[in-house]
Structure 1
Amino acid sequence: MKDNLISELSGRYGDDKTDKLVRYMQRIRDINEHINLTAVREEGEFLEKHIVDSLACNDYEEFQRAKLVVDMGTGGGFPGIPLAVTNPDKKFILVDSLNKRLKVIDQVAEELGIRNIELVHVRAEDMGHNVKYREKVDVCVSRAVASLDILSEWCLPLVKKGGYFIPYKGESAEDELTSADAAIRVLGGNVEKIENPSQDKNAISGHRLIFIRKCNSTPKRFPRKPGIAKKSPIR
């Protein structure tokens, strides 16, 4: 599986970018022995679940048009780093509340010459009220492990009108959308479509992409103070 995936990536993105993606994977796997960044150990599974899955946004015009992209809750750098490697013309802001993860990403990105990223150590709730970022972002992506109603409160305040919040969600995407419908509308969003990039039922990853367009400005009171969105989601 590993060789086939690398061959497919090379065919689409070229040898140089693919080499950078593979080297990033190898460095994260090495560092993972000391700092827990991912539960995925095997290279083929890593390529499919973290690299190929992260790159799913590249197929869609809504993402292709973006110049400034935020990756909220980047963890080990996914989807932000693979997207940054394959889109050197875009700027990516990778956000995480755990600084040691960002230090790892910074170290490896420096080694590999990934220059079009900015790393921000901040809570999502605070970032959403920072005038530098609020309603300034073309696209916000996230594979963070939080329900969609909570993620929407963290991410939609950052997106400018006409931009998109594109969360990566699993098989429960439709159920999460039902629960998050009120929050998305209150925060100024409108669900346009759900895409399933991986039609292969045997695929390890299989995230769905939800395209939420920012139609109206987010009310100034959102996001609420840290912890409130989890404790009392917008309903």
Structure 2
Amino acid sequence: MNPEQFVQALQEKGIELNDRQRGQFNDYFRLLVEWNEKMNLTAITDEPSVFLKHFFDSVSAAFYVPMEGELTLCDVGAGAGFPSIPLKICFPNLSVTIVDSLNKRITFLNELANQLELTNVRFVHARAEEFGQNPAYREQFDMVTARAVARLSVLAELCIPLAKENGRFVSMKGAAAEEELSDAEKAISVLGAKLEDKYSFSLPIEDSERNIFVFRKFKKTPKKYPRKPGIPNKTPIQ
């Protein structure tokens, strides 16, 4: 998918990019490749793959979940900024917070935000488990996103505590997502959320399977969650 095809594919989904936004995506690609030579941000560095597998794939959440209005969005373990930075470029109204455990990725994201002249973005260097227990962030966000960070049973414990009551947790997954959903049912319920919608589609060109789960938070998360760093991964809620 070249940049022109990317713009056209988004247009077909009702997302119109102006010249500035197109330029931001082009600069994002350039900076990603440049910084990737100094640190490991992504294994995908050729232009067609970055525009398809990183940029288009990230924005695909907005095909199903409304992003209009003054929404606060927290992206857990975003790495090089996916999905939240492509979403922020398309929807400048979003107020984005990214939490990541690697400081060098935070350094990249700060530089990226400066170069792309993004406003209302902040990047926090922290373990997701500790971040979720911080009163400054806990239950503060309209929407929490995560893209292929961990199995859903683990991810739920890292993400749901950050969503406000009646907020949403949007999980972006590849194949085998239904099996993960089945494994995570208990955790999602314990943490105070329930499945609201699920969507399956194929990524264009390569035709690979994608799944988006949208969970609605209906009550506060019990204070004990998330547990200490490493524990959710070792012993997911059963």
**TM value normalised by structure 2:** 0.92
Residue 19 of structure 1: aligned partner: 23
Moved more, 11-20 or 33-42: 11-20
SS of the aligned residue for 2:202 comes to coil
Does the 8 Å contact 1:166/1:210 carry over to 2?
A: yes
Deviation at 1:109, TM superposition (A): 1.4
1:136 aligns with 2:140: yes
Deviation at 1:199, TM superposition (A): 6.1
Q: Deviations over 1:182-216 (max 9, x none)?
A: 00000001011211243648335x43110011011
- Aligned AA for 1:2? N
| RMSD across aligned positions (CA) | 1.8
Mapping 1:92-111, distance limit 5 Å: 92-111=96-115
1:209 aligns with 2:212: yes
Mapping 1:74-113, distance limit 5 Å: 74-113=78-117
Could you say if the C-alpha distance between residues 7 and 88 of structure 1 is closer, same or farther in structure 2, counting changes exceeding 3 Å?
closer
Does the 8 Å contact 1:162/1:215 carry over to 2?
A: yes
- Aligned AA for 1:74? A
1:218 aligns with 2:218: no
Could you say if the C-alpha distance between residues 149 and 20 of structure 1 is closer, same or farther in structure 2, counting changes exceeding 3 Å?
same
Deviation at 1:145, TM superposition (A): 2.4
SS of the aligned residue for 1:23 comes to helix
Deviation at 1:21, TM superposition (A): 1.1
Deviation at 1:161, TM superposition (A): 1.1
**Cα distance between partner residues in 2 of 1:155 and 1:199:** 25
Does the 8 Å contact 1:136/1:159 carry over to 2?
A: yes
Residue 128 of structure 2: aligned partner: 124
Could you say if the C-alpha distance between residues 111 and 4 of structure 1 is closer, same or farther in structure 2, counting changes exceeding 3 Å?
closer
Does the 8 Å contact 1:162/1:213 carry over to 2?
A: yes
Deviation at 1:34, TM superposition (A): 1.4
Deviation at 1:76, TM superposition (A): 0.6
Q: Deviations over 1:117-159 (max 9, x none)?
A: 1001111111111111111110000114210010000000000
SS of the aligned residue for 2:25 comes to helix
- Aligned AA for 2:86? P
Residue 5 of structure 1: aligned partner: 5
Deviation at 1:105, TM superposition (A): 1.1
SS of the aligned residue for 1:207 comes to strand
Could you say if the C-alpha distance between residues 62 and 191 of structure 1 is closer, same or farther in structure 2, counting changes exceeding 3 Å?
farther
Which 4+ runs in 1 deviate beyond 4 A? none
SS of the aligned residue for 1:120 comes to strand
**Cα distance between partner residues in 1 of 2:203 and 2:38:** 35
Could you say if the C-alpha distance between residues 187 and 216 of structure 1 is closer, same or farther in structure 2, counting changes exceeding 3 Å?
same
1:176 aligns with 2:180: yes
- Aligned AA for 2:224? R
1:32 aligns with 2:11: no
- Aligned AA for 1:210? F
**Cα distance between partner residues in 1 of 2:126 and 2:63:** 30
Structure 2 gaps of 5+ residues are none
Deviation at 1:13, TM superposition (A): 1.6
- Aligned AA for 1:156? I
- Aligned AA for 2:97? I
**TM value normalised by structure 1:** 0.93
Moved more, 160-169 or 193-202: 193-202
